[in-house]
Amino acid sequence: MSSKTHDRHQDHRDRTAGLTVQYFVGTYGRTDHSWLEEHPELKRHFEEDSQDSLEVFPYEVALRDVELIKAVVEPKTLGEVRRSPLAVPLVKAVYNDRAAVDGEPPFDDLGDDVPFDWYDDLGLFWRPGPRLRTAELAPASLLADFGREDRAYGMDYERATWLPLDDQDAIEAALREMGHEIVYDDTILNRYLA
């Protein structure tokens, strides 16, 4: 995590210290590992899987994230992008960066009928995700008490402290002790994946 990103997230934690915050709590993954019973030699690799985790971060952030995702993945033309105040800054920045580096036309020079495919045009780097949001925005004391070191790796994979599903009851109790509210919204994680 860059120092600017760390500072921004620490600022968020400082602003919310002592305040009641609505925290989204949801499970991500819950992969069925029953097949491991037939392969006990592999079981040690799956005892703690960061891909099966508890996500905990401010609900208002989750709502903003899924609105941004919707605003970017739904348009099919640049004209539709231009009608979305959430999508324009992101898409315009990518097109203008491409213009500066590759000599392609800048965003403002392209017509409204130009096709837009978010995956082809933007890739995935822009998408906020619940795994990193938890590492960035969950209360620091929760991450210190319950967080697990991320041992996964891959190209462009950013390691992040994660919260295990087995500790959900204790984590929720700790949030309540801090004076926070818990929001369960089954649609949020699906909307992150839209």
CA angle 118-113-116, nearest 5°? 5
Q: Who has greater pLDDT, 82 or 152?
A: 82
pLDDT confidence of residue 11: 45
Going by pLDDT thresholds of 50, 70 and 90, the confidence category of residue 40 is low
State percent of the chain over pLDDT 90: 55
**Distance between CA atoms of residues 130 and 65, nearest Å:** 9
For 189, half-sphere exposure in the C-beta direction (CA atoms, 13 angstrom radius) is 21
Give the range among 23-37, 114-128, 140-154, 168-182 with minimum mean pLDDT.
23-37
Q: What is the percent of the chain where pLDDT is above 70?
A: 74
- Token match 């800054």: residue? 89
Half-sphere exposure of residue 174: CA atoms within 13 angstroms, side-chain side: 17
Q: Residues 146, 174, 18, CA angle at the centre, nearest 5°?
A: 115
Kind of pairing between the strands at 163-164 and 22-28: unpaired
- This prediction's pTM: 0.75
The confidence band for 95, taking pLDDT boundaries of 50, 70 and 90, is: very high
Q: Is the pLDDT of residue 33 over 70?
A: no
